[in-house]
Amino acid sequence: MSRSPHNAEEYRLTDPHITELLDRATADLQPQFQGIFGPETIRAVVEETYAQLNATARVHTHLATLATRFARERLTSIAKNQGALVPSTPEVLFVCVHNAGRSQMAAALLHHHAQGTVAVRSAGSTPADTVNPAVVEVMNELGIDLSQEFPKKLSFDAVEAADVVITMGCGDACPVFPGKRYLDWELDDPAGKPVEEVRPIREDIDRRVRDLLAELVPEAAR
């Protein structure tokens, strides 16, 4: 499990094109975290995030854009944990082993139903290279696009920032912090299953997500 930020020297990148992209990503993130993190810290998280994604990605198109998104999530978590940001909505973290199926569906469904009333993240204890294609297909059937999503490594910061942590087959991988609500959802793993067998898993997750939303934000579930 990763903890951020780490020393950027470990992930020194020498390709001028990549350096330019990461410079731009750092500049894009600075206004959001002005007064919270200096440019050196932001750059360190951006570089580490890019290096982690680059190590497992099969397709490197838009990798810098994905790194910017994930770095923003990580910096937000760190800022919350330090008390520099006061969250206005509850935050839910979904965790499965590969962050390629169950946790991706759960996060997307909660994000869809909550309409901004809940902050949602997902991660995996051992992230896969890509999101399960069958999962992408069954979510497309609901009009939810997962084509731009990617498996993410579970971090201490993400767990610490969450109000509710929901595990799906990897409970032992999650650190326990006082004051958090932990749930373990027993769900079939969609890995290797055809679309016809993934749909019932999606529906099971959807029911659980709706129940969770009704507890967290009753007015959003109406």
Query: How much is the pLDDT for 7?
Result: 43
What would the mean pLDDT of 151-173 be, rounded to a whole number? 87
Q: How many CB atoms lie within 10 A of CB 51?
A: 16
Choose, from 42, 71, 95, 170, the residue flagged as catalytic.
170
C-beta of residue 166 within 8 angstroms of C-beta of residue 209: no
Choose, from 8, 42, 93, 96, the residue flagged as catalytic.
96
What is the rounded distance in angstroms from the CA atom of residue 120 to the CA atom of residue 131? 17
Chain centre to alpha carbon of residue 56: 16
What is the rounded distance in angstroms from the CA atom of residue 6 to the CA atom of residue 27? 19
Confidence class of residue 174 from pLDDT cuts 50, 70 and 90?
confident
- Please determine, for residue 132, whether its predicted confidence score (pLDDT) is greater than 80: yes
Mean residue pLDDT of the chain comes to 87
Query: How much is the pLDDT for 6?
Result: 45
Choose, from 21, 44, 162, 174, the residue flagged as catalytic.
174
Active site residue 170: yes
Active site residue 96: yes
Least reliable range by pLDDT among 1-15, 76-90, 120-134, 185-199: 1-15
Active site residue 206: no
C-beta of residue 22 within 8 angstroms of C-beta of residue 46: yes
What is the rounded distance in angstroms from the CA atom of residue 88 to the CA atom of residue 29? 20
* Domains along the sequence of the chain with CATH: 1-86 (1.10.8.1060), 88-222 (3.40.50.2300)
Count Cα neighbours of 72 within 13 Å in the Cβ-side half-sphere.
13
- Please determine, for residue 130, whether its predicted confidence score (pLDDT) is greater than 50: yes
Confidence class of residue 77 from pLDDT cuts 50, 70 and 90?
confident
Both tokens assigned to 90: 């509850």
Helix boundaries (H) for 82-132: 102-114
- Each residue's pLDDT tens digit, 12-52: 466 788 888 899 999 999 998 998 999 999 999 999 888 88
Count Cα neighbours of 190 within 13 Å in the Cβ-side half-sphere.
31
